[in-house]
Structure 1
Amino acid sequence: MTDSRPGDLFQPGDLVNNTYRVEAILGRGGTSDVYKARSEISGRIAALKVLKAEFSDNDDFLLLLTREEAMREIRHDAVVRYAETNRTPDGHVYLLIDYVDGPGLDKKLKEGPMSAEDLLVICRRVAEGLQAAHSRGIFHRDLSPDNIILRDGDPAQAVIIDFGIAKDTNPGAETIVGNEFAGKYAYAAPEQLAGNTDARTDIYSLGALLLANFRGKSPNIGNNPMEVLQKKAEPLDTEGVPEPLKSLLDKMTDPEPDNRFDSASAVLAALNGDAGATTPEPAEEPDALSDATVIAPAIGKRAEETKAPAPAPKAEPKAKKAPKPDAKPKNASESKSNKAIIPIAIGGVLVVGLAGAFMSGVFTSAPPLPVADPYRLSIAKAKDSVPRAVGFVPSEDVAEALRQQIQGQNGTSDLTLATGDIAENWGQDVLSVVDAVDEMDAWRVSISGNVVEIEGETTSKPIFREVQAAFDAGALGALSGEPDLSLNEIIIAPERIEAILTAFADCGPLTLVDAPLGGYGPGSTVEIAGNVATSASRDTLFDALSSAVGERTVRVRTTVLNPTLCLIESVMPKAPTSAIDVAFYQGDQNNQPNPTGEFIVGENPVIDVEIPAEVTDGYLSVSVLDVSGNVFHLLPNINRLDNSVEGLRDGQDGDLSIRVAYSIAEAQSNGGLAFRVDDSTLGKTKILVIHSSEPLFNEMRPTSESALSYSEALIAEDRNVASRIYSLDSRILETSSR
């Protein structure tokens, strides 16, 4: 998940269309950003893909979202589900997408090589999703590791996301971004560089990304377009890849499209033949069951009541057998034929669809338990909600104990008896973990095999300490994991936040805006003002504050300067602002006003200092502090010695504009200073105007000097200590390449 930044369109806590409460930002793209949000009505977690403000009125980019919305016609749990496109009252357009919780293959790529076994599982799953999309004439065109998410980290639950540049090949359909190249060079098929796409394009990309994740590094595609073309014409290097993955990748990534598998169905057929798999061809749109339905016997269900036993597995499972369940369920209402386990959102905690259980042996009156691999159990309680348990348990005794524990808080459970590769005391350890956390305000326990993820939060310090003590005393038993517990204090004193501001201030003091005397309660907004040296330091400050204040909203209203300006800020004399102002003009455009103060490379900034009528005495010192670390003294300087207000006025009363930086044409005639923007000093430049009773320095400063020497002069003896500083005013001039 990506860290929020002050410049993001939505911040955590914002309510979109009176329905979706933003919780975090998931990622940023060139035209849109994706946020995690929860419906205030249903509690369902969703992803909001929001078109950036500058594209909200652009028909081409609106078409991108509306065509992406059309992906909702694809009904397969390996393809992310799209809902609808909406517009907020202030004009921001967003697409509602199902939220998939888990790491992307791009994250797995950074962690290192993946096993061939896991990649074969992912290949099958993604090929099934592509089969569903291709059957509707829709090709992804941008398959890459960042566009495949492993739901809950499970390779068997891989989900294809981001069909934003998908191409619909149905007659009369429009292409989202035209016929030009779409995708990423590292994973694009050779013919895709020429704008040619079909099913084989996606098959190549899938093979390339699987190879990248096996290697643990992205493909080498060269350093220039010619090298890219040359490398794309060559077969990918699969040396060292074990069979059957190697032969599969060789066929999927052949540079010649005609030599590849011609469809996702062909890939699945090869998997069934090469890998010995028995997964049947998936149906496009099942009628009676949801996309993530898993058929497994309910707790206590008699084998003879099931309609169709699954075929026995080819190899004897290594899983540990659990005790047999009772012949009859304790509560007949809990036993349902063909129990369907579907993915649900529990108050903000996404509970993943559970993997299928495979029957083995011949059905008798006392059948063996099905094998669950992976062996998963998810139990969660959202804030101000009831707990819910879904997954596998090894015995009826464990199921009943867990059910009673959940029902004690009016919760619900959907548990399936199964055997698996779990510890001998697995059930008791799970009960101990749930017992340890169940008094917290919100918690989640997610188990896969013997590995457990635990999250919990509370506003009670005694409960927090009690839960910590339980885990310190060994509540995990044979399970492995590190509990992630948080204490959200009801009231946070401003002094605690001010200590963080002091620690992270790198460009002058940071201040709390309208800090409440009684402290920050739940739902409060913590707002910060001041300057920071870099965007990175602002983001770091935001992260530190967010971690400290919990669910409270953080707004960092800071100005990003640069190290030069921050150095000067730290040594500037303390003085109030005044009515003295700075105005900008375009010297290369007949001195037309530039109220924004923004200039691009090649332009000629003109600077005036505007003196109000009431300022009639004293001295003005005007300097330019640029991003490269230089200081230019516009007034006084060797060509303009008199900086007294009286001399500048020269007998004129009222408001007065004094030009301190000229157009190039003016400078050629009067010898004044003039500037032209070049690409060596892009960024924020500060114009500084100091009004003092006496000249600021004892001696004339050079026209140009370093920021360091200017800072030393401000604090050293050559500063005129007899000078009283009346005011200090400034304005930012920003330069960019376009």
Structure 2
Amino acid sequence: MALTAGTKLGPYEILGPLGAGGMGEVYRARDTRLDRTIAIKILPEHLASDPGRRARFEREARTVSGLSHPNICALFDIGDQDGIYYVVLEYLGGETLADRLAKGPLPVSEVLKVGADIASALESAHRYGVVHRDLKPANVMLTKTGTKLLDFGLAKPSPVLASAAADDTQTLAKSLTEERAIVGTFQYMAPEQLEGKETDVRTDIFALGVLLYEMSTGRRAFDGASRASVIAAIMSSEPAPIGTLQPLSPPALDRLVQNCLAKDPDRRWQTAHDVRLQLEWIRDAGSQAGVPRVKGQRWITRERIAWASALFLLLAVATTFVRYVQPSSPPQRKIMFTVEPPPGYKPIPDGITALSPDG
């Protein structure tokens, strides 16, 4: 049953609905003690009667309460009243990544920033021993202060990193997943997740790659006319390279995403930490990593003009240097000599005197 405005849950007053997901309804509410706006997530009544669903809901609360990170939605409180189970969460203004993607692909700079934020949040969760398992655009909120990762309702302790987790949490996780049920949103699931195999942090790496692809191109990495065709694409097909859909996208980002989407978990990036470092490197390296400048074509034209002008000036200087520095050919020598006339020679008036070839 939906809650109406004015309903009280302990010290929290419902103001209105925000949305609903597979694991609960979300309301905007007011904390009457601290006079601040918060979000309350409630497990629907028909699910609250299911011990398994209720246990998973409570597990999300315990999971999120142990995660403290600027890119993860904070959890403030948990409670139940008259059979209503709820958690009190940080209220976030803004829009979901799903809403943003409905308007088209994101600019490269925004893809790199949002991607690095998500990777940072996953890095923190994985370090704590938690695998999200349901990473999708609807679970990413874009706010004025940055990106926030939401909804750890399907999260579970990582089999590799969960040594620090409490024994009861491990037992609960096992009881909820021992039948290897497929949980998550299948368009963003890794192959091993679709097959019901054991999942680990690399499962989230695959989903992050799908998000990066969709943010870059505005299209899903794996799509089809039916659920079966989408699953088949995830299991056996490769998405078109980002560069073929967005020519200005940096090649380094395309390679990073391809690595995230490897079918074999051993061939993917092994940690969210590595993915974050790669995204930050592409962002900071700029054109050196293949990121086009905002006015790249204009910059190239100016560069060509500058180089042509410099070459012309160099040729002019070289020509002038050759003309004034190279020595000119020496002047021709004048040969002067005296010829004595033969004895008895008398010049003829107005005549022309000439020498015979033999002298």
Whether TM-score is above 0.5 comes out as: yes
Match for residue 219 of structure 2 among 213, 217, 220? 217
Match for residue 152 of structure 2 among 163, 170, 173? 163
Q: Is the 8 A contact 1:189 1:201 kept in 2?
A: yes
> What are the superposed Cα offsets for residues 200-232 of structure 1, whole Å, 9 maximum, x if unpaired?
111111111221122223344323454234311
Q: Which amino acid aligns with 1:132?
A: S
> What are the superposed Cα offsets for residues 106-139 of structure 1, whole Å, 9 maximum, x if unpaired?
0001111211110100111111110100001100
CA distance in structure 2 between the aligned counterparts of 1:213 and 1:245, rounded to whole angstroms: 12
- Partner residue of 1:85? 78
Higher relative helix content: 2
CA distance in structure 1 between the aligned counterparts of 2:268 and 2:75, rounded to whole angstroms: 30
Shift in alpha-carbon separation, 1:36–1:251, aligned structure 2, 3 A: same
Higher relative strand content: 1
Q: Is the 8 A contact 1:188 1:204 kept in 2?
A: yes
Deviation for aligned residue 1:73: 0.7
CA distance in structure 1 between the aligned counterparts of 2:199 and 2:143, rounded to whole angstroms: 28
> What are the superposed Cα offsets for residues 78-109 of structure 1, whole Å, 9 maximum, x if unpaired?
11112332111x22111111111110000001
Establish whether residue 234 from structure 1 lines up as the match of residue 237 from structure 2. Answer: yes
Q: Which amino acid aligns with 2:210?
A: A
Identity %: 28
Match for residue 68 of structure 2 among 72, 75, 94? 75
Q: Which amino acid aligns with 1:43?
A: D
- Partner residue of 2:301? none
Establish whether residue 139 from structure 1 lines up as the match of residue 141 from structure 2. Answer: no
- Partner residue of 2:206? 204
- Partner residue of 1:46? 38
| Unmatched tracts of structure 2, length 5 or more | 287-359
CA distance in structure 1 between the aligned counterparts of 2:21 and 2:133, rounded to whole angstroms: 17
Q: Is the 8 A contact 1:185 1:221 kept in 2?
A: no
- Partner residue of 1:352? none
Q: Is the 8 A contact 1:141 1:183 kept in 2?
A: yes
CA distance in structure 1 between the aligned counterparts of 2:222 and 2:239, rounded to whole angstroms: 10
Give the 3-state SS of the residue equivalent to 1:113 in structure 2: coil
> What are the superposed Cα offsets for residues 469-500 of structure 1, whole Å, 9 maximum, x if unpaired?
xxxxxxxxxxxxxxxxxxxxxxxxxxxxxxxx
Give the 3-state SS of the residue equivalent to 2:207 in structure 1: helix
Q: Which amino acid aligns with 1:203?
A: I
Establish whether residue 193 from structure 1 lines up as the match of residue 182 from structure 2. Answer: no
CA distance in structure 2 between the aligned counterparts of 1:41 and 1:277, rounded to whole angstroms: 48
Structure 2 counterparts to residues 627-646 of structure 1, below 5 A:
none
- Partner residue of 1:183? 184
Q: Is the 8 A contact 1:144 1:209 kept in 2?
A: yes
Shift in alpha-carbon separation, 1:99–1:253, aligned structure 2, 3 A: same
Structure 2 counterparts to residues 605-684 of structure 1, below 5 A:
none
Deviation for aligned residue 1:235: 2.2
Structure ranking higher on relative contact order (CA contacts 8 Å, 6+ apart)? 2
Give the 3-state SS of the residue equivalent to 1:237 in structure 2: coil
Q: Which amino acid aligns with 1:185?
A: F
Deviation for aligned residue 1:277: 6.4
RMSD over aligned CA atoms reads 2.1
Structure 2 counterparts to residues 486-635 of structure 1, below 5 A:
none
Give the 3-state SS of the residue equivalent to 2:141 in structure 1: strand
Q: Which amino acid aligns with 1:41?
A: R
Larger Rg: 2
Q: Which amino acid aligns with 1:250?
A: Q
CA distance in structure 2 between the aligned counterparts of 1:74 and 1:158, rounded to whole angstroms: 15
CA distance in structure 2 between the aligned counterparts of 1:276 and 1:268, rounded to whole angstroms: 12
CA distance in structure 1 between the aligned counterparts of 2:56 and 2:225, rounded to whole angstroms: 30
Establish whether residue 125 from structure 1 lines up as the match of residue 117 from structure 2. Answer: yes
- Partner residue of 1:273? 281
Structure 2 counterparts to residues 1-16 of structure 1, below 5 A:
9-16=2-9
Shift in alpha-carbon separation, 1:177–1:84, aligned structure 2, 3 A: farther
Give the 3-state SS of the residue equivalent to 2:153 in structure 1: coil
Q: Which amino acid aligns with 1:267?
A: V
Establish whether residue 22 from structure 1 lines up as the match of residue 14 from structure 2. Answer: yes
CA distance in structure 2 between the aligned counterparts of 1:193 and 1:116, rounded to whole angstroms: 30
Q: Which amino acid aligns with 1:202?
A: D
- Partner residue of 1:114? 106
Q: Is the 8 A contact 1:192 1:201 kept in 2?
A: yes
Q: Is the 8 A contact 1:13 1:23 kept in 2?
A: yes
Q: Is the 8 A contact 2:223 2:230 kept in 1?
A: yes
